[in-house]
Structure 1
Amino acid sequence: MADSNSNTNSVSSGVTTSSDSAYVLHPSDNPGISLVTQSLTGDNYATWCRAMHMALMAKNKFGFVDGTIRKPDSSDAKASQWEQCNRMVYSWILNSMHHDIANSVMYAEKASKVWSELNDQMVMQFLMGLNESYNAICSQILLMDLLPTVSRAYSLLLQDE
């Protein structure tokens, strides 16, 4: 007789996945839901980002947006599970933002790409909104190989003062 407290789920591909795996989607998970109460409008990026971070961590899916859960090779048995979870997370992100912002990131292939494009857009919006006295530090930030987060850019501005 099977243990009723079993910690694994068998999926249709024949791959057995632990119930605490990031690849597990629960029956309540669907692409039409919004995980946060406030839609991203641009002005509320910091609070929206924090709320999405907490919601995705609670669902054990934040690795899909920060890039720690990488896409497996197409020959890997978990590739289809990764794709399904990536699309689900992608949908959750799109459903939690204003349609104008969603349209600007609609064609990214991965949830992690959407996340980084949103960050880049918000950093650019933040930097372009500053007055001319910050031109030097803005130029330094824009010359970085990878744009920092909005909070890191703000921190760099404060250090420069």
Structure 2
Amino acid sequence: MPETTITFTGDTSNAAKPDNYDVNHPYHLNNSNSPEMTLVNTMFDGKGYLGWRRSTLMSLSAKKKLGFINGACQPPDLKSPDHEQWSCVNDMVISWILNALSKDIADSVIYFKTAKELWDSLEQRFGRSNVAKLYHLQKELSGLAQENSDIAAYFTKLKRLWDELDALNIIICCSCVCVCEGKAKLTKSLEDQRLIQFLMGLNDIYAQARENILMMNLFSSIDVAYSLLLQDKNQREVYANAHFNSESVSFMAVGEAKQPNAQLLADFAAFMITGQGKNYQKLRSQTQRGAAISPKYNNSG
């Protein structure tokens, strides 16, 4: 078998020394690498393959081992001094993937000799786009509304479903170099549709904010709309708290109407709400000295 050239970044001067590879070389293993390591926190049990796949790919990429599952790191010739190290790293990657699988699934792929063969088997079994998955996602999206969720939870649910849908449709995405801006227009059209879907599912309490977003000359991005809605939510919460405090102060003033200083109490309410009142200056001087509003509460000592 002819020796295969491997593309990678890093120093190649020590490529023939299995125990002295550059840290950026795909054959490099540091002291913390072991067969017992776990790549992801969630074990794949047959459900949620797309999310598990994404997490696994990111982890392998961070370790510079993607080449062992995508075919970039082909096995060297048996006589090559690199073959032993390639075999060692290949077995390490297989162990990492097996650790991230449930026992039943791991048992079904444990006898593959290369990490690429194992990964290809998982892709064939769980990664194929099919009508059933598309139907399930579209059905869940069509019935999703905010209801009892807050804005953040509602948006997160939508985003997760959109990302899963995009992952299923990756095969039909155009990868050619576009000069007519058709790809950009299609992408913008999809974003606009998702923005409308997001707004449609909001509770009626956001009706005014939703109308303001729709009245913009150019459609906002989903992230901008999300930010505006959060601002609207925060402003309403601040107003609600201020309104509650104002009513509490006014109620206190009315309840003390028969006291000798009823007018002063009323001015205290006005002072707290607007900073104004008939005895505003007197009240201000008293509050600055720490004096009580009513003399009967000031005779205790």
TM-score (norm 2): 0.39
1:123, distance to aligned residue in structure 2 (A): 4.0
1:35, distance to aligned residue in structure 2 (A): 1.1
Change (3 A) 1:14 1:83: closer
Aligned equivalent of 2:124, options 115, 120, 123: 120
Contact 1:8 1:19 in 2 (8 A): no
Contact 2:18 2:82 in 1 (8 A): no
**Distance in structure 1 (CA, Å) of the matches to 2:61 and 2:18:** 27
Show the 5 A alignment for 1:92-111. Answer: 92-111=96-115
Q: In structure 2, what residue type is equivalent to 1:102?
A: A
**1:38 maps to which residue?**
42
Instruction: Give the structure with the larger helix fraction.
Output: 2
Contact 2:57 2:66 in 1 (8 A): yes
Q: Radius of gyration: which is bigger?
A: 2
**2:26 maps to which residue?**
22
Contact 2:36 2:96 in 1 (8 A): yes
**Distance in structure 2 (CA, Å) of the matches to 1:61 and 1:39:** 20
Contact 1:25 1:85 in 2 (8 A): yes
Name the structure, 1 or 2, with higher relative contact order (CA <8 Å, separation 6+): 1
**Structure 2: 5+ residue runs without aligned partners?**
1-10, 135-166, 174-301
1:155, distance to aligned residue in structure 2 (A): 4.8
Contact 1:8 1:16 in 2 (8 A): no
Per-residue CA shift, 1:20-77, capped at 9, x if unaligned? 1110101000001111000011111101100000000000001001111000010111
Contact 1:9 1:19 in 2 (8 A): no
Change (3 A) 1:100 1:128: farther
Change (3 A) 1:45 1:82: same
Aligned CA RMSD, in angstroms, stands at 2.9
Per-residue CA shift, 1:79-109, capped at 9, x if unaligned? 0000000000000000001111111111111
Is 1:151 equivalent to 2:145 in the alignment?
no
**Distance in structure 1 (CA, Å) of the matches to 2:81 and 2:39:** 29
Contact 1:9 1:16 in 2 (8 A): no
SS of the residue aligned with 1:18?
A: coil
Q: In structure 1, what residue type is equivalent to 2:45?
A: T
**1:147 maps to which residue?**
none
1:19, distance to aligned residue in structure 2 (A): 2.1
SS of the residue aligned with 1:47?
A: helix
1:16, distance to aligned residue in structure 2 (A): 3.9
**Distance in structure 2 (CA, Å) of the matches to 1:9 and 1:27:** 22
Is 1:63 equivalent to 2:72 in the alignment?
no
Contact 2:50 2:127 in 1 (8 A): no
**1:51 maps to which residue?**
55
**Distance in structure 2 (CA, Å) of the matches to 1:96 and 1:127:** 24
**1:84 maps to which residue?**
88
Aligned residue-pair number: 130
**Distance in structure 2 (CA, Å) of the matches to 1:18 and 1:154:** 35
1:151, distance to aligned residue in structure 2 (A): 2.4
Per-residue CA shift, 1:99-127, capped at 9, x if unaligned? 11111111111000010000101146x64
Change (3 A) 1:23 1:154: closer
TM-score (norm 1): 0.70
